[in-house]
Amino acid sequence: MSRTGILLGAVLAGGESRRFGSPKALARFRGEPLVRRAARVLGEVCSRVVVAGRVDGLEPDPQVTLIPDRVPGLGPLGGLHAALVELRDEVGDAAGGDDGEAGVLLLGCDMPLVGPTLVRAVAWVGATCGRAAAAPAGENVRFEPLCAWYGLACLPEVEARLRGPDRSLHGLLDAVDAYSIPWARLGPGVNPGWALRSANTPEALAELEGEPDPESGSTRLPPALCVVGYKDSGKTGVSVGLVAELRRRGHRVAAVKHGHGFRLDTPGTDSWRLRHEGDADPVLLTGPEGFALMGSWKGGEEPGVEDLLEAYVSRAELVVVEGFKGSSLPKVEVFRGARHPEPFFRSGEPGSETVVAVVTDQPEMEAPVLVLDLDDASLAARLADLVEEKVLR
């Protein structure tokens, strides 16, 4: 991480464990104390991990620092406060007081199914979303505050709330206008609703013990949106603008371009020989500047876009696809009335029923979906808003 992107992992291990009946942080899950398990998960993402709160019987080691609450008896907010003060001191030493994107990645010790992929995604979104804090959306709530990123900018509000009546982390997240992370942003193969369950009793812990790892699930399709239209309608310009705006907002975006008759390899080159003389399929080219994957469809039949997304870009947070009008994916149509007699969404062809918006040079057009002006300077931002609302969520 950069000096202004310091990430401190903090295991929240305080509390009196009344419902659990014994020190919960030291209860074992798959042969490992809960507090150690949480510290190990954070340690795969953070350069330094602390345990916030008192844990009788837990000995410190070189990988984990024990830090007491600065203000005892104030619950999770007190533990977060201790971690943020620790981070402030570290940032002051390492970066001359410039906090930048420095933050605390908080994890409750009683969430044993949370793994590195999930916390890494939370940390990445938190550091890039432009908000003071970020937390995944819970099963039935706006935030899951015990697996969340809290920027150093939260510290003044935390200190104010320590003296007030509302010391809940939910109240803090509302007060700092935190970002509620949609599940789709947490990565393929991760089931957040499954992973974010907590064990407040020995019975609940035993039940989670028998559950499979939420991060070992099969690959799934990433969220995707097709930009479609007839030839020379301006699909590429709309796609480029949309991808650029989504990237500016911190999303990890891949792109797929459907075309005809293109050729990526040059006869006589090493990659061409591997592919055509050696019959390797596919061929991966990689180097310091980037990489490319080349192959061919055996039997001559092109796979559907869903198969392509699963096989080649399943790790993307979002994919913008140019083309594939007949697919079942949601679509934005680019329509130029000056060049084509009828928009695709009115054609009745397969896929036309999935159009969610039309971008056109005829913004007065009547349509059962959102109509956007092709020449609107805010077009990319409005499309990105649509994607975040309709596709990512």
CA distance 146 to 198: 10
CB 372 within 8 A of CB 383: yes
Q: Check whether 3 has a pLDDT greater than 50.
A: no
Q: Report the mean per-residue pLDDT for the chain.
A: 85
Position 353 scores a pLDDT of 87
Residue ranges per structural domain of the chain: 3-216, 224-392
Contacts of 18 (CB under 8 A, 6+ apart): none
Do the domains 3-216 and 224-392 sit in the same CATH topology, yes or no?
no
User: How are beta strands 103-108 and 147-151 bridged, if at all?
Assistant: antiparallel
Fill in the DSSP letter of residue 221: P
Q: What is the pLDDT of residues 266-317, one digit of tens each?
A: 888 988 888 888 888 888 888 888 888 888 876 667 788 877 887 788 777 8
**Superfamily the domain 3-216 falls into:** Spore Coat Polysaccharide Biosynthesis Protein SpsA; Chain A (3.90.550.10)
Amino acid residing at 20:
F
Share of the chain above pLDDT 70, in %: 87
Fold for the domain defined by 224-392: Rossmann fold (3.40.50)
Position 16 scores a pLDDT of 61
Q: What is the pLDDT of residues 134-169, one digit of tens each?
A: 999 876 778 999 999 999 999 999 999 998 999 999
The pLDDT-based confidence of 99 (bands split at 50, 70, 90) is: very low
The pLDDT-based confidence of 381 (bands split at 50, 70, 90) is: very high
CA distance 319 to 324: 13
- Return the bridge partners of 64, or none: 49, 61
Q: What is the pLDDT of residues 317-331, one digit of tens each?
A: 889 999 999 888 889
Q: Check whether 30 has a pLDDT greater than 70.
A: yes
Which of 33-42, 65-74, 247-256, 280-289 has the lowest average pLDDT?
65-74
